[in-house]
Amino acid sequence: MKFRATAAATASISVGSAIVSFASPSPSVDLIERYVRFTSPAVHLGDITFDAGIRVPNPKRPAWFSTTIAEIRASVSHAYSAHDGQWLNQNVANAATDFFGSTADLLPGKPYIYSSIDGDLVAEFTTPNGTLTSIISPTFTLLFGVVDGVTSERKIMETRRTREEVRDFLKPLVADPHGDLATQE
Amino acid sequence: MAIWQPKSDEGIGKSENLGRRLFDEPMLAGVQSPKLFGGLDLRNFQEKRDREFSLDRLGRTGIDKRVLQYLVPRAKAASTKFKTPKSFDGWAVLLADVIVKPPVGLGFSLHPSPIAGDGLDENNFHAHALLPESIEPDDRYRTALHLRHLFGTHGTIHQVASDSRPSLDSASPQTTNVLTALIDRVQLTAAWKVVRGLLRKIGV
């Protein structure tokens, strides 16, 4: 565990690869005092209160993320009625934004995106070991992978598990033996 | 030699070449810099209307040129009947035996289903694979993904030059898709310039 003061009223504490930040809206908060209280073994954690909540920062996002999200947002039609392939409805766009927001750093590069016949978003990826197709709808995400001609699939229903499920599903599709993806441009 | 005339009461032979029509599907309106994609578009393997996955019988043991001469005008005519007309790019071709008994996953029964009609509405070489009954949308996606995988992995692409595009017959499928995407981009840019010019003329 290491502690690092990054601003007058902010400390970042790294535990392994995760970073947890304690941030205060007031610059007058005594950071050192909080640091001592936090690290003192005589103080029970339950006795400590923080001015601000604990937040987990967003994972580092690859360069393609903002472009893809912009393309999705620019494809939303509020007058959307039929699936003509050129437009997305807002619910599909929201689901896709959430999906990429939580998994972009795991994914193998910029996806080729289009609308399915049913109006959901299809994202095609080429991975070091095969291909990945993600179909993102407002109610589920379907992952379909091909490695050496062998297919696998997974349906994700719970959005809170999306990141974990994608990470696990991608393991055989990527070259890194640790299962973590190096994002590509 | 007369053109092969499949008989609907004989069933489909194991060595027949069956083709799934490939149409040029539209890009999302907001995609400005499309990533080039060398694979098959999933939309070409989604069957929207019913459980019958539409196919063309391209030849008894291989692709029959005379059958193609019959089918190409029909496929091109069909491409103009979509709500937004598309271009017909050719077929993804697979042996009947692979569709019925694929090396991986579920197989599909094949049925001749010639279409009666006048002129280009008639198709004596039409057949279909019967898809499993799917209630859930994700089941339909699984079937489309599986079919695309079968055609993409165990089949071939027979390309047909569209009327509005230069022929890419001699290029590999991946190169063709890349070139096609570039041509689309150029056409879109040109179209936008025309629209922008008109808008300026009317003072918008």
* The pair of three-digit structure tokens given for residue B67, joined into one six-digit string: 């059958």
d(CA A62, CA A68): 11
Which residues in chain B belong to E strands, given as ranges? 17-23, 52-59, 88-95, 109-112, 126-130, 156-159
Asked if B174 contacts B38 with a C-beta cutoff of 8 angstroms, the reply is yes
- pLDDT tens-digit series, residues B122-175: 999 999 999 998 778 899 999 999 999 999 999 999 999 766 544 444 444 445
Task: Please indicate whether, in this complex, the C-beta atoms of A77 and B29 are within 8 angstroms of each other.
Answer: yes
Paired sense of beta strands A2-7 and A121-127, if any: unpaired
Using a CB–CB cutoff of 8 Å, tell me whether A184 touches chain B: no
pLDDT over 80 at B182, yes or no: no
Task: Please indicate whether, in this complex, the C-beta atoms of B138 and A140 are within 8 angstroms of each other.
Answer: yes
Residues in chain B with CB shorter than 8 Å from the CB of A114 are 25, 27-28, 41, 43
**Along the 185 residues of chain A, how does pLDDT read in single tens digits?**
444 444 444 544 444 444 444 444 444 445 555 555 555 555 555 555 554 555 555 678 999 999 999 999 999 987 766 678 999 999 999 999 999 999 999 999 999 999 999 999 999 999 988 999 999 999 999 999 999 889 999 999 998 999 999 999 999 998 654 544 444 44
Nearest to A112 among B35, B137, B142 (CB): B35
Quick check: ipTM above 0.95?
A: no
The alpha-carbon gap from B48 to the nearest alpha carbon of chain A, in Å, equals 7
Nearest to A116 among B35, B43, B84 (CB): B43
d(CA A4, CA A13): 6
pLDDT at residue B38 in the model = 85
Task: Please indicate whether, in this complex, the C-beta atoms of B33 and A67 are within 8 angstroms of each other.
Answer: yes
Residues in chain A with CB shorter than 8 Å from the CB of B42 are 116, 122, 133, 135
Q: SS3 for A31? A: helix
Task: Please indicate whether, in this complex, the C-beta atoms of B28 and A110 are within 8 angstroms of each other.
Answer: no
- pLDDT tens-digit series, residues B24-46: 999 999 998 777 788 999 999 99
Using a CB–CB cutoff of 8 Å, tell me whether B192 touches chain A: no
